[in-house]
Amino acid sequence: MDQLQQEALTFMERAIGASSSVYGHLRLSQQQVHISEGQERGVPAGAMARWCAGYHRQDPFMRSYLTCLSTSPRNVIVSSEVISHHDYVATRFYNEFLKPQSIYHVMIVGLRPSGRVPFGIIGLHRPAEERGFSRLEIAKADLMAPCLRGAVERIQARELLSQHDPLQPGGVDVVDTDSSITMERRMKRFGLSRREKQVVELLRQGLSSLHIADQLNISARTVNNHLRSVYDKCGVHNRTALIYQLTH
């Protein structure tokens, strides 16, 4: 995951034109958003760690960034949209934390499922002597965000699979009694419909959407619609994470 983050930061810096960048992990717990450090480029070593350790309390922007990203269809927000220049340069956060790093213009790219709080953010920076991010650059970053989100989700799914090994080689699950009982209880708790439960049971056996469609005499498109509904109810973004969520 660290390598993917570094590659994503390098790619975004070159594509958008930024002098430095950082990646942060987001986790939602009891309506509170927790941000932890990820990879960083072009900033002093440990900059994200210092932000997480204390400077986040002085950061006047993050709440606005997350509010905008969670309520807007856009995946991108820039500093000039949430605070005026006059207010910006008067903050302790800017003068003590950003300015020594030669950071003035900030673009935040959210990696998020549709309509949800991001699970990761990329911060792109430019110094004060450079121009701000243009509408074209914002639009470009907005288009790139879903691709980056998909790449991160795939790596997370692989890591989850390698850590917990819920599937045997070939994608066929070993269905034991305890996990089957756990799965049934959790499907009920998440409010899955009868048909959604049938889809998940076949998915757990390693069947593709086409094979599930054949088994249930429905279209593959309907299967995928059921899966999207199940993902939303269970708060996951892919099949591997879904099965782990329901069986552990």
Q: What is the CATH number of the domain that holds 225?
A: 1.10.10.10
Same domain assignment for residues 222 and 121 = no
Same domain assignment for residues 134 and 239 = no
Q: How many domains does the chain have?
A: 2
pLDDT value, residue 45? 86
Distance in angstroms (rounded) separating the CA atoms of residues 162 and 139: 36
Return the amino acid letter for 3. Answer: Q
Tracing tokens 């986790």 back to the chain, one arrives at: 27
Same domain assignment for residues 133 and 228 = no
Same domain assignment for residues 21 and 115 = yes
Q: The whole model's pTM is what?
A: 0.62
- Contact (CB, 8 A) for 177 and 144: no
Same domain assignment for residues 173 and 80 = no
Distance in angstroms (rounded) separating the CA atoms of residues 200 and 182: 13
Same domain assignment for residues 125 and 22 = yes
Nearest CA-CA partner of 111 in 243, 1, 29, 230: 1
Same domain assignment for residues 170 and 147 = no
pLDDT value, residue 93? 92
Tracing tokens 């002597």 back to the chain, one arrives at: 129
Same domain assignment for residues 155 and 178 = no
Reduce the DSSP state of residue 1 to 3 states and report it.
Answer: coil
- The segments of the chain whose pLDDT lies below 70 read 1, 28-33, 69-70, 113-117, 153-180, 248
- DSSP for 193-214, please give it: -HHHHHHHHHHHTT--HHHHHH
**Domain boundary, last residue among 132, 160, 188:** 160
pLDDT value, residue 22? 93
Q: What is the CATH number for 131?
A: 3.30.450.40
Query: In sequence order, what are the residues at sequence separation of 6 or more whose Cβ sits closer than 8 angstroms to the Cβ of residue 177?
Result: none
- Contact (CB, 8 A) for 21 and 124: yes
Q: Please list the alpha-helical segments (H only) found in the chain.
A: 2-12, 47-53, 62-71, 85-89, 92, 135-164, 177-189, 194-204, 209-216, 220-234, 239-247
Same domain assignment for residues 135 and 214 = no
55-69 tens-digit pLDDT: 887 887 777 777 776
- The domain in which residue 236 lies consists of 166-247
**Domain boundary, last residue among 144, 160, 176:** 160
pLDDT value, residue 183? 83
Distance in angstroms (rounded) separating the CA atoms of residues 45 and 149: 25
pLDDT value, residue 122? 92
pLDDT value, residue 154? 67
**Domain boundary, last residue among 101, 125, 160:** 160
